[in-house]
Amino acid sequence: MPTPTPEPQTPATDAAAVHAAYLSAPLRDLDAWTRYFRDAPIPVLASTSRAIEVLRADEDNVDASMLATVIEADPLMTLKLLAHVASKRRPGTFTETESVTTSLVMTGISPFFRSFGVQPTVEDWLHDQPQALEGLRTLLRRCERAAHFALGFAVHRGDTDVGVIRLAAFLYDFAELLMWCHAPTLQLYMAQAQRADSTLRTATVQRGVLNIELDDLRQTLMKMWHLPELLVRISDNRHADQAIVRNVVLAVRLARHTMHGWDNPALPDDIEDIAKLLNSVPRATLAFVHKIDHAI
């Protein structure tokens, strides 16, 4: 049973017993969606759940780096950990963890395993929604691509916040991941609408179907869960006048537009904007992003 605390809940320890109750109709507004996700269980990848259990069985020999390798590959588990650590901070303290490893060091290995039992999986959660599961998997691949592009841009720019920039891009679409888990029919409807009309803007479809934009839900949830301030700030596309924010936003855009190849009509604008960010020229920038893509 979830408890009324403003963080993603650690679900019941019996992962196999999870029974998803999907939302089939949109909630009224941003406040309603925020209240819903405040207490909603968050399933993780089956590979993550299995790997955590393998490490749990050898707890005495596990360190933060070993756990971080597992968690950092899963945006949903990463989100749960960061929110959990934030919820344990004493009021008035301003030390913020901005990486999975430092979060685990702060938590401790044994307390982590006590706080996070056997994790429910998205595969079990969406077992009767195969199209939604495929939609979620596609989005997960896009999250990984965005993280790689953001990392490449940040390294090229010599940014000192490379780790948090990568993390921001990796988590950027977590609100959509949550929608795939909790409102799969609404997500499928939006995906079908955009396939039928490629000119439909994502934000417009979201407002029409969900009564909100997922960018707004992402920011509201990050603030409610008290995620690190820098992570919240550079995930906010309303501050795209800052280079560190553009780094994240452009990486996410490029990942979205190249998911199915490099012939998307929006790509020339993406490359021009990335070239400005990197203080380069479009031709060299295109070669650079292709190089990153080949390394993914």
The residue that leads in pLDDT, 156 or 89, is: 156
**Residue among 130, 112, 135, 125 at smallest CA distance from 53:** 112
Region 236-260: mean pLDDT is 95
Task: Identify whether residues 137 and 248 lie together within a single domain.
Answer: yes
Rounded CA-CA distance 55/7 in Å is: 24
Task: Identify whether residues 69 and 134 lie together within a single domain.
Answer: no
Q: How many domains does the chain have?
A: 2
**Residue among 105, 99, 59 at smallest CA distance from 78:** 99
242, amino acid identity = Q
| pTM of the predicted protein model | 0.91
Task: Identify whether residues 204 and 146 lie together within a single domain.
Answer: yes
Q: State residue 13's pLDDT score.
A: 37
User: Which strand (E) or helix (H) includes residue 52?
Assistant: helix 46-56
CA 1 to mean position of chain CA atoms: 24
Task: Identify whether residues 60 and 198 lie together within a single domain.
Answer: no
Q: State residue 96's pLDDT score.
A: 61
The pLDDT confidence band at residue 235, using thresholds 50, 70 and 90, is very high
Q: State residue 1's pLDDT score.
A: 32
Task: Identify whether residues 148 and 277 lie together within a single domain.
Answer: yes
Q: Evaluate whether residue 8 is within a structural domain.
A: no
Range of the domain at 88: 44-119
Mean per-residue pLDDT of the chain: 91
Region 219-238: mean pLDDT is 95
Both tokens assigned to 61 = 């020999």
Task: Identify whether residues 144 and 248 lie together within a single domain.
Answer: yes
Long-range contacts (CB closer than 8 Å, 24 or more residues apart) made by 53-57: 53/118, 56/113
Both tokens assigned to 238 = 């309303």
Domain end marker among 71, 101, 119: 119
Is the distance from CB of 277 to CB of 157 less than 8 angstroms? yes
Domain end marker among 119, 150, 175: 119
Domain end marker among 87, 119, 151: 119
Task: Identify whether residues 146 and 278 lie together within a single domain.
Answer: yes
Residue 93, pLDDT > 60, answer no
Residue 136, pLDDT > 60, answer yes
CA 63 to mean position of chain CA atoms: 24
The pLDDT confidence band at residue 39, using thresholds 50, 70 and 90, is confident
Task: Identify whether residues 282 and 156 lie together within a single domain.
Answer: yes
Residue 52, pLDDT > 90, answer yes
CATH code at 192? 1.10.3210.10
The pLDDT confidence band at residue 74, using thresholds 50, 70 and 90, is very high
The pLDDT confidence band at residue 186, using thresholds 50, 70 and 90, is very high
Is the distance from CB of 227 to CB of 6 less than 8 angstroms? no
Region 157-161: mean pLDDT is 95
Rounded CA-CA distance 231/177 in Å is: 18
Rounded CA-CA distance 157/151 in Å is: 10
Is the distance from CB of 123 to CB of 137 less than 8 angstroms? no
Task: Identify whether residues 73 and 193 lie together within a single domain.
Answer: no
Q: Evaluate whether residue 170 is within a structural domain.
A: yes
